Amino acid sequence: MDEGKPIFVQIAEQIENDIISGALPEEGQVPSTNEFAAFHRINPATAGKGVNRLVDAGVLYKRRGIGMFVAEGARARLIEGRRERFQDEYLGPLLAEAAKLGIDRQQLITMLEKGKNA
Amino acid sequence: MNAVVEVTGLSKRFKDVVALDDVSISLHENTIHGLLGRNGAGKTTLMQLLTGQDFPPHGTVRVFGQHPVENAAVLRRICFIKESQKYPENFTAGHVLRSASWFYEGWDQGFADQLVGEFRLPLKREIKKLSRGQLSAVGVIVGLASRAPLTFFDEPYLGLDAVARQLFYDRLLEDYAEHPRTVVLSTHLIDEVANLLERVILIDQGRILIDDEAENARRAATTVAGRADAVDAFAAGREVLHRSGLGGLSAVTVRGRLSAQDRAAADAAGLDLSPVSLQDLVVRTTSGTDRKEVA
């Protein structure tokens, strides 16, 4: 796991990734907090904090006595949110590194084209 | 959050050595605590006082709201697994488990049997003929299967190999999730247990240095690395826990959580920020020299 982020944030992001990839389908049941804790070998309270973060965000919802489910429309909303952050989180660092190495705009475009065909 | 244990102003001195120095802490109900610190820091002394094995010389100790010393109602709810546990002569591991099953109300024989198999513990062999790791397994099995509302593990794994230690951590987490209880894990293998802990208590030379949520403790310090002049400028005015350098490069560990502005400033100065693991935090904050000797 990435040491830079709190563990509960990493748990939440991992669940988000599984929803985006479709591994956890909408209206499908997600593992329980205790199952997440056992799988990742972390304290159940930490796992619970990660799950609750997604409940608060409306990505997951609880059905009393049954468990936790992926909300309808969660995938589209997560993708939308990730797209909005893409500029800051991915392009920003990429451009900064390119500037540091003296890679100009044209070279970057060439690399992007090459990457697309790879 | 309910406190299962409340300690205020607890001090204890052995001749000219201060073992505990005005310690005030509480243990939260149904929470896994890490009790961390170097050898001789006061961990075992603290646990002995919490488990009623000694009268507190100064200060107060309340366990489940009561004095623990010679208090059967309290002691029946406590399980204290220690590295140096002594057993009666000629006892086998089977005898130990049977005694524990009589003592602890929450004892789960099925769970104990499962653990005996997983740890490959020979039940009929005399305790004194067990290997160091098998002896530790006896303690771990008693500590887990007793399901005591307040369970202390004081360095429970001497001689346990990596597989057996992982088994201990896995079974502890699983069983704690099913049967929540208050656990205190005293250990030097901090990296191994860091993710299991919800709260961290760090003790050094008898004093409590950290008593906080594990997540906060993990962010209590940051290492800043980059060009020496930029690092020095960033570290100015901050408490520096550790400093190392290589040519024109420098890495400094500073205490305190960084603000968004701090991070932006570090970024603008071309500095790399990295979090400090719980183990490194403990090493950095407790590696000072001895101040325990009282003149």
CB-based contact (8 Å) between A93 and chain B? no
Mean pLDDT of B242-267: 90
pLDDT for residue B225: 94
Band the pLDDT of B158: cuts 50, 70, 90: confident
Chain A with chain B: Cβ pairs closer than 8 A: 46
CB nearest B177 (choices: A4, A40, A44):
A44
CB-based contact (8 Å) between A99 and chain B? no
Beta bridge partners of residue B92, listed in sequence order = B126
Top-tier CATH class for A7-74: mainly alpha
Q: pLDDT tens, A56-109?
A: 999 999 999 899 999 999 999 999 999 999 988 899 889 988 998 999 999 999
Judging contacts by C-beta atoms under 8 Å, the chain A residues touching residue B198 are: 43, 45-46
Task: Record the tokens describing residue B150, joined without a space.
Answer: 């307040």
**Does residue B2 carry a pLDDT above 90?**
no
What single DSSP character describes residue A58? Answer: T
**Does residue B291 carry a pLDDT above 60?**
no
Top-tier CATH class for B3-216: alpha beta
Interface contact A41-B275, CB threshold 8 A: no
**Does residue B293 carry a pLDDT above 50?**
no
Task: Record the tokens describing residue B56, joined without a space.
Answer: 């507190």
Distance from CA of A44 to the nearest CA of B (A): 7
pLDDT for residue B16: 86
**Strand segments (E) across chain A:** 29-30, 60-63, 67-70
Q: pLDDT tens, A17-49?
A: 999 999 999 999 999 999 999 999 999 999 999
**Does residue A116 carry a pLDDT above 80?**
no
pLDDT for residue B247: 87
Interface contact B197-A40, CB threshold 8 A: no
**Does residue B157 carry a pLDDT above 90?**
no
Mean pLDDT of B234-250: 91
Pick from B204, B290, B289: which is nearest to B19 by CA?
A: B204
**Does residue B255 carry a pLDDT above 50?**
yes
CB nearest B198 (choices: A6, A33, A43):
A43
pLDDT for residue B290: 61
Band the pLDDT of A10: cuts 50, 70, 90: very high
Residue A62, classed as helix, strand or coil, is strand
Distance CA B11, CA A112 (A): 66
Distance from CA of A116 to the nearest CA of B (A): 30
**Does residue B139 carry a pLDDT above 90?**
yes
ipTM of the complex as predicted = 0.81
Which strands make up the sheet holding B240-246, listed edge to edge?
B240-246, B249-255, B221-227, B272-275
pLDDT for residue A3: 53
User: For chain B, what are the domain ranges?
Assistant: 3-216, 221-275
Please tell me which residue, B275 or B196, carries the higher pLDDT value: B196
Residue of chain A whose Cα is closest to the Cα of B274: A4
A window 31-60, beta carbon within 8 A of B? 33-34, 37-38, 40-46
Distance CA B230, CA B224 (A): 10
Q: Which residue intervals of chain A bear CATH 1.10.10.10?
A: 7-74
Top-tier CATH class for B221-275: alpha beta
Cβ-proximal residues to B43 (8 Å cutoff; 6+ apart), any chain:
B35, B36, B37, B154, B186, B203
**Percent with pLDDT over 70 in chain B:** 97
Please determine whether the domains at B3-216 and B221-275 fall in the same fold group of CATH.
Answer: no
Q: pLDDT tens, B15-33?
A: 888 899 999 999 999 999 9
Cα angle, residue B201 at apex, residues B260 and B281 outer, rounded to 5°: 50
Q: pLDDT tens, B173-183?
A: 999 999 999 99
**Does residue B218 carry a pLDDT above 90?**
no
Mean pLDDT of B100-127: 96
Judging contacts by C-beta atoms under 8 Å, the chain A residues touching residue B177 are: 33-34, 37-38, 44
CB nearest B173 (choices: A3, A8, A41):
A41
For CA atoms B141, B145, B148, B150, the dihedral sign is: positive
Interface contact B215-A46, CB threshold 8 A: yes
Helix (H) / strand (E) element for B203: namely strand B199-204
pLDDT for residue B256: 85
Please tell me which residue, B218 or B240, carries the higher pLDDT value: B240
Residue of chain B whose Cα is closest to the Cα of A3: B275
